[in-house]
Amino acid sequence: MTEEEVKKLIKEELKSFSKDYYRETHPGFEVTSGNKTVGHGEGDYCLTTDSLQGFHFYKDGVYKILSNKSMEFRSGEKSNDKEICITINADNGKIKIVAESGDLILQGANVLIESTDADGAVSINSKKNVYVRCPEYTVDSTMFTASATLDMLLSGGNLSLYSEAAPVQLGAGVDAIIGPTVFDTAFNLLEKARSFFKR
């Protein structure tokens, strides 16, 4: 390789660095700024240890923290039980907490989950089971629907059914859908179809 080729190669490599590139190396860690990254463009302030742990700020607004085993945040030593000690706030966008191969545990004296949007919803989806265990369970809503495509069991020491506006209606899938008139039969079929698709 000629001297000109070496100079050209060095010049091409230098283009990958920002004009404001900075690097400070210490035993066990280094600090860089202005460095080019693959995923987030130019680094703003990056502290990286020899074991590839650390925290990185990027000029595009991304901030990342990495530890190889665990991470702990503690606060509130001088706070009382009415004050907020830790806040996670996203002005726009979503907040996602993932435990890829372990349990996700939310624990507190009280656990409150609230949806504040006018059309907001709280959804709980499980591949298999959902368990709720408590001494007393209350549901208070304008409309309540419980549907099971297979078996449903309602059981209690005392079981009461009460309807405020109309008589209590009970039906079974074996009820006849053939009505005295064509209209009644069509209406019964329509009601059964609606019930099915509401599940």
Q: pLDDT of 56-73, one tens digit each?
A: 999 999 999 999 999 999
The predicted model scores a pTM of 0.66
Check if the beta carbon of residue 75 is closer than 8 Å to that of residue 86.
Answer: yes
Domain coordinates in residue numbering, the chain? 1-69
Pairing of the two strands 41-49 and 54-58: antiparallel
Average pLDDT, the chain: 85
Whole-Å CA distances, 106 to 72, 110, 119: 15, 10, 25
CA-wise closest residue to 198 among 159, 155, 143: 143
- Rounded CA-CA distance 150/147 in Å is 9
Express each pLDDT in 144-189 by its tens digit: 888 888 888 888 999 898 888 888 887 776 655 555 565 565 566 5
Structure token digits, residue 44: 């703003």
Check if the beta carbon of residue 115 is closer than 8 Å to that of residue 122.
Answer: yes
Kindly give, in sequence order, each residue whose CB lies less than 8 Å from that of residue 114, ignoring residues fewer than 6 positions away: none
